[in-house]
Structure formats: C-alpha cells, structure tokens
Structure 1
Amino acid sequence: MKIITLTTDFKDLYPASMKAVILNMCEEPTFIDLTHDINQGDILSAAFALYTTTHFFPSGTIHLAVVDPGVGTGRKVIIVRAANQYFVGPDNGLLIPAARRIGDVEVFEIGEKAMLDKISNTFHGRDIFAPAAGLLASGHEAEDIGQPIETFEKLNFGKANASVDKLYGKVLYIDSFGNVITNIPAKMLEDFARPAEKLVVKGNIASYSLTYGRVQKNELLILTGSHGFLEIAINGGNAAQRLDITGHPEIRIEK
C-alpha cells in the first residue's frame, strides 16, 4: 500500500483528475487530502501545512503538493527525497521546509519521460506532478524519474526576535477557526511572559493562556498552539477577523 497525500489551492474538481492519473499507474494507492483550501497562490501557507503534517507519515509516503503561481513558466518541476519520504511539486520553495524537517534533502528535476504525452500550460498538477507521483508509488526511484540538481528554490519561515517588552514575528498561517499562527516559537513566548499575564497585539489586550477555555467566551488570547508556535485566538471567535489580519504581515506582541 502506497500513501499519497495531496495539498493544493484547487478547492475542487482538479484534484480528482490528479488522482485519476495516479490510479492508472499504481494499484490501490491510499489518498489522503491534507488540504485543498489554501488561498490561491499562497505558497507560504501551503509550506506551513506540509511542515506541520508530513513528518507524522510513515516511511515511503509520497506528498504531492501543487500551489504553483508560476505554472507554465521556466520554473523547475521537482522531486525532493528526505529520509525515504518524497515530495513532488513545483520548485518555488513550497516543499523544502517540510522535507528538511524530516531529514537531509536530495532534489531531482523531473524528466520528460515522467510526464503525460500532452502537457497543458496551466495544469502541471495533472500532467507532470501526478505522473511523477504515480511512478514513485509504483516502485520507481527518484533517479529513474529525474536528474539530481544542486540549485533549487528555498523557503523559510523567517526569524522571530524578542526585546525586553516586545516580541516580533510574522504570520505564517490562519486556520479555519481564525486562529493566527505566527513564527514566534513557544520557548520565546514562555521566556517573555507568564500565564495569565496581559499582553497587547495591534492595540488589543490579550491574555497569555495555556488553552482556549481558560479565558472568557469571546476573549482575545495568546497561547502556544499545537504546532509549537505563538498563536493569537479568540475563545469561540475569529481572531483574524477581529484584528483584520490577512496574508502574512509582520506582527508585534507587547507588554
């Protein structure tokens, strides 16, 4: 049994075509849809989704990820191998944080023999990445599908900083609850404040809490989320909407 995960910004329709291509190449794969709800072209959010989930999967898992605003241009199409897990997608940095979390990375540029005979300029997920994933799932090695390369696009989540009375970071992801996940690591928050201490974010008072239910309903709070980063949340509400946060802005937490 081969596990193949899918992460895209396609919402609907298009992932079915990708799965159909793979089903014609591989017997009984297990598909797991990580998410298809990434905002269009939001490479950083997709990279975060991969980073926080893929390391839980067993050896041999293939992660097919397509958030590809550069589709049809000169950007490379790649396979990344890390500790016997595989990542297939565009060379725009999307795959790298998750792969590096798992282990040392080897990168291969996908060759023409791994592609469908007819390639659309706008749907490489179906015509290039799905066939490459199908070949991996049917037992081919990355070396059979592409050539190793040393130069590829890298992406990181940025570095958070702290002073005596401020934390500085960046928004990485906004989840379906409206929780705002930053790149500020848990240890930095723990060194900065005590539980129940009042902090300030975008001019709003927020309690530093260990979990959502320890503050009043609709109260703004700051906590360490399950991914190990500082999150801004509202108990029973949507922090991103209340604070008017979209995308990946810089964020400051103050005492």
Structure 2
Amino acid sequence: MTTSVFKLMDLTGRTALVTGGSRGLGLQMAHALGEAGAKVLLSSRKAEDLEQAAAELQAAGIDARWIAADASRPEDAQRLVAETMERLGRIDVLVNNAGATWGAPAEQHPLEAWDKVMNLNIRSLFVISQAVAKAWMIPQKKGRIINVASIAGLAGNPSEMTTLAYNTSKGAVVNFTRALAGEWGQHGITVNALAPGFFPSKMTRGTLERLGAEALSARAPLRRLGDDEDLKGATLLFASDAGKHITGQILAIDGGVSAIIAG
C-alpha cells in the first residue's frame, strides 16, 4: 500500500527554522511549512519585524515563534540554533534564506561590502547548517536543508545588473548545496536549493525601480514576475517526505529565465 501524496507532504510534528523569515521569500516559505503542519521558528535581525511576521503566521493558524539574530555573526548563528533546540527540542527542516545584496560596478565595489554579502550569503549557511546537523539531524539520522540560491548564481548578469558579490555568493550556494548533499546523504539528510528568479521584494526594489516591472517580466518566457505563492510548492517538496529521494538539486523558480540562459 503506497502512501498518499497528502500524507507525504504532511509536516505535522516537525519543526522548521527559517532564517531571513520576517518578510519576502522567507515569510512565504514559512507560510508553506506552517500550512503543512510544521511548527515554525523565524529569525532575522529585527525583533519588530519578526513579531509582526509571527503574528501574521499565527493569524493563519500556524504555530510560529521567533528569535532575533544576525546570521552573519557566527556567535549569533550558534545562539540561534541552541535557543531553537532549547525551546522546540528539534529542527527537522532548516531553510537558509537570510541574504543581502550590494549594487556597484566591479571596479568600484567596496571590499567591506563584498565581505558583508559573502558573510551572510554563504558563510552563515555553513555555520548554521553545521550547528543544526550536529545538534539534531546527524544524531537523528534525518533532516531537510533548503538553501536559497538564485538564478544569479547560475550565470552572469547583463551590464546593467552590477551585483558581482551577490552573483558570486549565490554561485557558491549552488555548489555548497551539491557538496554538502554528497557528504551528508549518509546521515539521511537531504540538501537542496531553490533558485528564485525576480521576485518583487525590499532587496530587489532598486532594480525594479531602475528597470521596471514590465521590462523584467518581458525577459521571462511566462511574462511575469514571481508572486507570493510561487515558492510554496517547491519548498514543501524539499521539506517533506515527498522529496525524500531528492538531494543535491537546484530548482529554478524563475518563469523560465534560466532555460533561456542555458539554451
């Protein structure tokens, strides 16, 4: 007797930690996990934003908590994992979503900005993933890690998109995902990445204002930008038993942009 698809995607009894979860893509993914039955722990730097996000999830019937932490600081990342384990007792799903970008021509890019982007977008993934794996996933011989990459990590940008550090960091996320999947598969841990295309958000506001929504939409075969639901299904696939035989994969959610790039 096979398991129904609804049961495979049921996260009841599981706990998810979502970094960068107070808004945008992180909050969208938190909704998906919570709607499937998981308890959700949100984290970002600002307590006020987290309080509002948790209230939004709770209003939707989701068991949501929050911890303020700066994921780019190793001591904060370690504290985040320790406090989550203390409060919830387990971390079945880790969503590494916290990230930053910086726009500047490569010849003018400040070194401190480069370090800021790299520390948050890739070093924090290593620190948090390692802490979660040691605290829960490796001893339990199971776990789901979902990294948020970007189609910016799959190819270069046109000249008007001056985000060298961001592209480089997201390219690192892609291979971090593949390498970690290969190493931790023996522990029953799957490691996959979502690679969003252009979604309107606070992080992308400058690009949207400079290039315009219509022009950006025209670059995608589906002729649209990402919306508030487009990451939900993929997040649930990677987080649940429906994706238990998928690891080391990068799934582009971009309206087809990367298919054109690859072609």
The two structures share one fold, judged by TM-score above 0.5 = no
Instruction: Give TM class, smaller chain.
Output: 0.3 to 0.5
* TM-score between both structures, scaled by the size of structure 1: 0.33
Structure exhibiting the larger radius of gyration computed from Cα positions: 1
- Structure with higher strand content: 1
* TM-score between both structures, scaled by the size of structure 2: 0.32
